[in-house]
Amino acid sequence: MTEQTTTLDALRMSVRRLRGIVEPLDADAIAQSAYPSEWTIAQVMSHLGSGAVILQRRLEDELAGTTTSDEFAPRIWDEWNAKSPRAQVDDGLGADAAFLAALDALRADERDEFAFVMGPIRVDFDGFVGLRLNEHALHTWDIDVALDPSATIPTPIAALVVDRLELVGRYTALPTAGDPTTITVQTIDPARWFVLELTAEGATLAPSMTTGNGDIELAAEAFARLVYGRLDAAHTPPLAGDPAIIERLRATYPGP
């Protein structure tokens, strides 16, 4: 990955990658379980497609200075849940591409002035794209790994995802058994360092300015999957450190 790669570049890569994985699949393939197994591949595509429609509407409303109705998202979810599996896949790819095109179409001044607020979350244009990128990359893996158990998130995409884990880590962490503790994490591909503070209330995750060996060392894409609850034993690459730490972090970030 070059220094010029942006969050939007990474999202373009992920959109192309998803299409390449899903477009050739037949009816039997899209009906099989994804990850987590409670969802089929078609249902993951429905989630990504409906999410693209909702985010595009939020983007358009923000640019127009209007507020998105609270009823809009539930209506879209109902509409997509009612689609056939084939339509969920095909329409999902279409909505995914349309949202990316809408992002690409924004002028430089519109990007500079853009601000998105949803509850306690406030992000600029790059942060808004990053919200989609993280969701997109992890759900693409959900599909890819159902077809190829050795699948990982490609490094150029994971490099952008791993730098945006602090927000999701704040909201998805659960209290875990054991004394409060501090865990340092070193990632490779790319190299990053993080500090996790585990308490009876949950956990906080933050980038660290300290380099050197961490308590655990693993690929950046694997750490991203860990925080999103997708690093079960069957999908854990080689790592360095105490296996008990990984088990505690799995309990902290159980995912879907």
Q: Convert 59-84 to b/e letters by CB count within 10 Å (16 or more is b).
A: beebeeeeebeeeebeebbeebeebe
Burial class (CB in 10 A: 0-12, 13-18, 19+), 219: buried
The pair phi, psi for residue 48, each rounded to 5°, is -65, -40
Domains located in the chain, CATH noted: 7-150 (1.20.120.450), 162-252 (3.30.1050.10)
Could you tell me the maximum CA-CA distance found in the chain, to the nearest angstrom?
52
**Do the Cβ atoms of 195 and 208 come closer than 8 Å?**
yes
Q: How far is Cα 57 from Cα 99, in angstroms, rounded to an integer?
A: 9
pLDDT of residue 4: 59
pLDDT under 70: residue ranges of the chain = 1-4
Helix H, strand E, coil C: the string for 93-160 is HHHHHHHHHHHHHCCHHHHHHCEEEECCEEEEHHHHHHHHHHHHHHHHHHHHHHHCCCCCCCHHHHHH
Q: Helix or strand or coil: residue 209?
A: coil
| CA angle (89 as vertex; 21, 86 as ends), nearest 5 | 120
pTM (two decimals): 0.93
Buried b (16+ CB within 10 A) or exposed e, 220-235: bbbbbbbbbbbbeeeb
CA atoms lying within 13 Å on the CB side of residue 158: 23
Q: What is the pLDDT of residue 68?
A: 93
Residue 3: per-residue pLDDT:
47
The pair of structure tokens assigned to 209 is: 């300015």
Q: Which two tokens stand for residue 245?
A: 């730490």
Give yes or no for a contact between 133 and 199, defined as CB atoms under 8 angstroms apart. no
The number of residues in the chain equals 256
Phi, psi angles (nearest 5°) of residue 241: 130, 180
- The pLDDT assigned to 179 comes to 82
pLDDT of residue 202: 83
